Amino acid sequence: MDVIFLEDLAFFAYHGLYEEEARLGQRFHVDLACWLDLGPASREDDYALTVCYGTLTRTVETVVTGSRFKLIERLAGAIADAVLAADPRIDRVRVRVHKPGAPLPVASGRASVQIERARES
């Protein structure tokens, strides 16, 4: 199976448990891996035989900026569901959400979660 990667997509949104996070917002970064058969596109060099990177990016953006979640676990799950719904050629998706501004008790760090979902047969 082949994979398309979109990495370090950055968005400003309002996710988090705390009131300040909902009011002030913060940056979130998303890494996406989509498993699908890229054989036809790699043989034919035909744009119609692959998934549009821009469409995938807009799908992620719609979820990240269009809703508010308390948990980045929920955000990652919603992104995975939306990506699988967006294109039937995608068999499996891995989503990693990074929250660089997570309220951690250290001078530097970030919280991240990774979720993997497969299309139901």
Question: pLDDT category, 106, cuts 50, 70, 90?
Answer: low
- What mean pLDDT is reported for the chain? 94
Q: Is the pLDDT of residue 103 over 90?
A: no
Pick from 95, 99, 93: nearest CA to 112 = 99
Per-domain boundaries in the chain: 2-118
Q: Is the pLDDT of residue 67 over 90?
A: yes
> What confidence score (pLDDT) does residue 107 get?
64
Kindly state the average pLDDT of the residues 28-49. 96
Q: Is the pLDDT of residue 85 over 80?
A: yes
Tell the residue number behind the tokens 């498993």, with chain if given: 35
Domain 2-118 has CATH 3.30.910.20: no
Above pLDDT 70, what percent of the chain?
Answer: 93
Beta-carbon neighbour count of residue 54 at 10 Å?
9
* 70 a catalytic residue: no
Pick from 63, 95, 101: nearest CA to 76 = 95
Question: pLDDT category, 45, cuts 50, 70, 90?
Answer: very high
The two three-digit tokens of residue 28, written as one number = 């979130």
Q: Using CA atoms in the order 11, 16, 18, 19, what is the torsion angle rounded to 10 degrees?
A: 50
The residue from 78, 86, 99, 115 that is catalytic is 99
